[in-house]
Structure 1
Amino acid sequence: MTSYLGGSSALALILVLSGCNSPGQTGAQQQSAAQGPAAQAGGWTDGTAAQLRKAIAGRAAHGLDQMRFDAVGEGSGAQDAVALTRVALSYAAALARGATDPAKLYDIYTVARPNPDLKQGLSAALKAGDVAGWLNGLAPADANYRRLSQAYLALRRQPAAQAAGISDAGEPIKPGVADPRLPSIAHQLVVLDYLKPEAAQGDRYTPAMVAAVKAMQADYGMEPDGVIGGEALAILNLSNVDRARAIAVGMERLRWLERTPQPTRIDVNLAAARLSYWRDGKLVDSRKVVVGEPDKETPQLGSPIFRLVANPTWTIPRSIERSELAGKSGSYLRAHNMARKNGWIVQQPGPKNSLGLVKFDMQNEHAIYLHDTPAKAMFALTQRQRSHGCVRVEDALGFAEILARDENVLDEWHKARATGKETFVKLPRQIPVRMLYQTVLFDEKGEPIVRNDPYGWDDRVGAALGFKVGKALRVRTDQADVGP
């Protein structure tokens, strides 16, 4: 799925080279022209062609080694400007914007993307004779991207190994018991660097192994209870090929993003169900969220918060009315503070309102927003993909206080809350929100950890990058409630 970007830039380079190789020149004069004046005018030389070939040969550093970028072969040098330009712009686009188009991979993707002028960049690089330097500057330069790159290369250098194939049949394995699967489990814990080799002995679940499993569970966002059930076995059964694929997908998703995001913003990682609040370039708050369950996924949006809503009402969407409230009696509606208004079911303000006591209104056509919730217990769950698509924020009132204070509307916010009625507090400036999806997180040492892929969204990206269908971590989440 590489992009074809030829056109006027390629034509200009052809004309440059044609002018240098005009009729009447000798072979020596033509070679001199191709490597001298052509370079000064912005044409290809043997040197810049070699730089392009070397860059593409090293594309594994970006997780792109499963894709083909057919550069002109060794020895053809600058003679095929059309092909060189086409390949250079295609590879540059993969580094600068991603080798795939998320707007085509997903029904909804509105997060802002980079859009550099690659034709102008290539022209300048050719004039400077530094195609390598130009290409090296296109991919993300942040620490997370570098860590992913290093991890991917390390995995690709290891011998290909099959998944462990540890059976998930039978009862969960509890501390102290014996189980024939434990030698294989111990081996995988050693491979993943959670257990020392000398502790991988026998078929009994020892305290050393329990500690290793708890550390692994914590890294993967699971309840660290030391019990080896289906989720823990899914992690242990991932092969290096599966991990490499997930890391390559993680790099691709970073290439989709603007290189310099807004310094004040809110990022929501839908895969991890966590919110991060950045203020003036610094991370100042992070908290759990509940996002859409599979089949009701929260879309990947770029959409700003423009106002806070105190004591919100909730007009129930037709889809939820049909699926969740069909056949409910009038007494049920009254018990949940609901009433029909102009043909819609509306839930009135109050602590039992499904939006809780605060809504963070956002500008998008998909009716997606952040809000409070009375279902506080869901924040204690490991897998928090439980809503109908909107994003529920842990301690939403506390988060609203932070935003109101930072935006100098704290007094207005307090007055709005005190009314007990639905009241709107407009923010003096909009706060950008990015709904992202990243299945690779980092542990305390900065090492990448392949986490759960609750929506299965890694599959389509991995396939588009040329990877065979692999195994990803899946956890069923079937405890959604009536709320948005």
Structure 2
Amino acid sequence: MRKGVIASSLLAMTVTLAGCDFLSGYRDKAEAPASIDQLHWDDTAVRQLREAIDRRALHGLDRMRFAVGGRPGSVEGDQALTQSALRYASALARGASDPAKLYDVYTVPRPKPDLLRGLATALEAGKVGGWIDSLAPQNQEYRSLSKAYLALRRKDGAPAPTIPDKSEPLQPGTTDARIPAIARQLVASGYLDRTAAQGERYNPAMVRAAQRMQADYGIKPDGLIGSDALEVLNLSDADRARAMAVAMERMRWLDRKAPPTRIDVNIASGRLIYWRDGKVADSRKVVVGEPENETPQLRSPIYRLVANPTWTVPRSIERKEIAGKGGVYLRRNNMAWKDGWIVQQPGPENSLGLVKFDMKNEHRIYLHDTPAKHLFQEVQRQRSHGCVRVEDALGFAEMLARDEGVLEEWRRARATGKETFVKLPREIPVRLIYQTVIFGEDGEPAIRSDPYGWNDRVATALGFPPRQAYRLRTSDSDIGP
């Protein structure tokens, strides 16, 4: 994929939150009202608020109730209207749900607009509706999600056709009456081009599309369409609409002014984007935590590069993976006990590989190299114990060292063969985010797997009924972090 396409798939946000700029009507921000009892409403402003809330399906919020309480003209009525407006404004500006309450760990910064002051300015200018509309993300990806959601929502009442399962899996080359329905689902999910969806023969293009889908969902990519594949293919329009609504909510959580130089990792798709001065400088695959050891959603900076790192085995991995294996195993893996901990010495077979990107967070999550290069060839790359393994990590470290002006120091550190630390002149922010809708070269959103099942709690918070989603089935991971 081209860099721009991959960047879109991460839904990385760089646009300004326009709602923060509605103070232009005040020469001095201190003049703006600072409490809800100072705001006054009229019938025009109330009408604009109601119309804005009536358009909430544009944002996938139509399953939530946003009541407009109170009438203008009294202190109590104006306060009730202000509270109603602020609640809906907050849903657009920061998200209708709080990710810190939905997940055990969520430290990615959210927008912090001064909504009260923005509302005050909008009321004075008579532009409450325009102000509210400005609060949601203003980029093309968000608009594409909104368009797709509305189209799918219109079909929501129609019965979802189910592709029946048969006793034997569908074989390549077979003619079957189910093929048109299978083809439609593959096209709708972004795996198959419409031109290849012809007839009732399971043709090679469809087989390749089915294999990509299988790999994406952790199913053996053999092209045989059996029960597991049909479970994925039988997604309804309502299921797809739900995914679009969740994707919009996740975008609303993100700060509209992301640091121009940063690293974004999409945990769901196993992809990394390196932004430099507001432009995509690099993209590559990553391996992230398996479903039993999820990589958390957090923001944490890289503050130094570690050449030839040692690895102190965490207690959890020691108990589950190494306990009882004895001295022969430790020597074979270049490990030894040190101060009560198992420590793996530097070398190409070290579980951290030849470079570690040290990050500041209490969860001991960081980026690193790995000797298990074959995992980057998998489509679904949730295979680690929680840390993020970077494809061609040495090349990435060279790039960061060059960009930060410490390339020669980094090369000297590498040459020692010993664990050596190279501090970066400035910290590079890293955002670990989770997004299951990506964008193809045509700009259209396509739904991919939800490997951790993390969409469910967001969808429930948005008012969608619970559903049993297909869960990723993992193979055995290695002992690495």
Relative to the length of structure 1, the TM-score reads: 0.86
Kept in 2, the 8 Å contact 1:238–1:472? The answer is: no
Kept in 2, the 8 Å contact 1:105–1:461? The answer is: yes
Alignment of 1:423-434 (within 5 A): 423-434=420-431
Alignment of 1:370-409 (within 5 A): 370-409=367-406
Asked if residue 323 in structure 1 is aligned to residue 349 in structure 2, the reply is no
Alignment of 1:51-200 (within 5 A): 51-72=48-69, 76=71, 80-167=77-164, 170-179=167-176, 181-189=178-186, 194=192, 200=198
The structural deviation recorded for 1:213 is 4.5
What amino acid does structure 1 have at the position aligned with 2:37?
Answer: L
Residue 355 of structure 2, aligned match among 338, 354, 358: 358
Kept in 2, the 8 Å contact 1:190–1:200? The answer is: no
Distance between the aligned counterparts of 1:173 and 1:420, measured in 2?
Answer: 54
Kept in 1, the 8 Å contact 2:217–2:380? The answer is: no
What amino acid does structure 1 have at the position aligned with 2:338?
Answer: K
Kept in 2, the 8 Å contact 1:48–1:130? The answer is: yes
Kept in 2, the 8 Å contact 1:220–1:450? The answer is: no
Residue 19 of structure 2 aligns with which residue?
A: none
Residue 332 of structure 2, aligned match among 317, 335, 340: 335
Asked if residue 233 in structure 1 is aligned to residue 230 in structure 2, the reply is yes
Kept in 2, the 8 Å contact 1:451–1:473? The answer is: no
What amino acid does structure 2 have at the position aligned with 1:296?
Answer: N
Distance between the aligned counterparts of 2:141 and 2:183, measured in 1?
Answer: 30
Residue 447 of structure 1, aligned match among 444, 448, 453: 444
Alignment of 1:259-338 (within 5 A): 259-338=256-335
Distance between the aligned counterparts of 2:195 and 2:413, measured in 1?
Answer: 61
Distance between the aligned counterparts of 2:187 and 2:389, measured in 1?
Answer: 38
Distance between the aligned counterparts of 1:71 and 1:288, measured in 2?
Answer: 47
Distance between the aligned counterparts of 1:198 and 1:406, measured in 2?
Answer: 44
Asked if residue 9 in structure 1 is aligned to residue 6 in structure 2, the reply is no
The structural deviation recorded for 1:222 is 9.0
1:328-367 superposed Cα distances (whole Å, 9 cap, x missing partner): 1100000000000000000000011000000000000000
Supply the RMSD in Å over aligned alpha carbons.
Answer: 2.6
Kept in 1, the 8 Å contact 2:367–2:389? The answer is: yes
Q: Which has the larger radius of gyration?
A: 1
Asked if residue 248 in structure 1 is aligned to residue 234 in structure 2, the reply is no
1:243-280 superposed Cα distances (whole Å, 9 cap, x missing partner): 11111111111111110100000000000011110001
Kept in 1, the 8 Å contact 2:287–2:384? The answer is: yes
The structural deviation recorded for 1:96 is 0.7
Kept in 1, the 8 Å contact 2:218–2:473? The answer is: no
Kept in 1, the 8 Å contact 2:61–2:245? The answer is: yes
What amino acid does structure 2 have at the position aligned with 1:322?
Answer: R
Residues 344/170 of structure 1: CA separation in 2 closer, same or farther (3 Å cut): farther
Distance between the aligned counterparts of 1:222 and 1:478, measured in 2?
Answer: 10
Distance between the aligned counterparts of 1:195 and 1:306, measured in 2?
Answer: 44
Kept in 2, the 8 Å contact 1:463–1:469? The answer is: yes
Residues 196/401 of structure 1: CA separation in 2 closer, same or farther (3 Å cut): closer
What amino acid does structure 2 have at the position aligned with 1:433?
Answer: V
Distance between the aligned counterparts of 1:381 and 1:206, measured in 2?
Answer: 24
Q: Which has the higher contact order (CA 8 A, sep 6+)?
A: 2
1:52-101 superposed Cα distances (whole Å, 9 cap, x missing partner): 0000000011111110000148xx55552122111100001101111000
Distance between the aligned counterparts of 2:294 and 2:212, measured in 1?
Answer: 29
Kept in 1, the 8 Å contact 2:180–2:197? The answer is: no
Distance between the aligned counterparts of 2:267 and 2:85, measured in 1?
Answer: 34
Asked if residue 480 in structure 1 is aligned to residue 453 in structure 2, the reply is no
Q: Secondary structure at the match of 2:284?
A: strand
Worse overlay, 473-482 or 243-252: 473-482
Alignment of 1:415-430 (within 5 A): 415-430=412-427
Q: Secondary structure at the match of 1:304?
A: strand
Residues 170/396 of structure 1: CA separation in 2 closer, same or farther (3 Å cut): farther
Q: Secondary structure at the match of 1:302?
A: strand
Worse overlay, 465-474 or 264-273: 465-474
Kept in 1, the 8 Å contact 2:452–2:472? The answer is: no
The structural deviation recorded for 1:472 is 3.5
Distance between the aligned counterparts of 1:350 and 1:198, measured in 2?
Answer: 48
The structural deviation recorded for 1:422 is 0.1
Distance between the aligned counterparts of 1:300 and 1:146, measured in 2?
Answer: 24
Structure 2: gaps of 5 or more residues: 1-32
Q: Secondary structure at the match of 1:408?
A: coil
Kept in 2, the 8 Å contact 1:291–1:386? The answer is: yes
Distance between the aligned counterparts of 2:466 and 2:332, measured in 1?
Answer: 49
Residue 24 of structure 1 aligns with which residue?
A: none
The structural deviation recorded for 1:175 is 1.6
1:274-314 superposed Cα distances (whole Å, 9 cap, x missing partner): 11100011111111111011121000010000000000000
Residues 442/224 of structure 1: CA separation in 2 closer, same or farther (3 Å cut): farther
Residue 22 of structure 1 aligns with which residue?
A: none
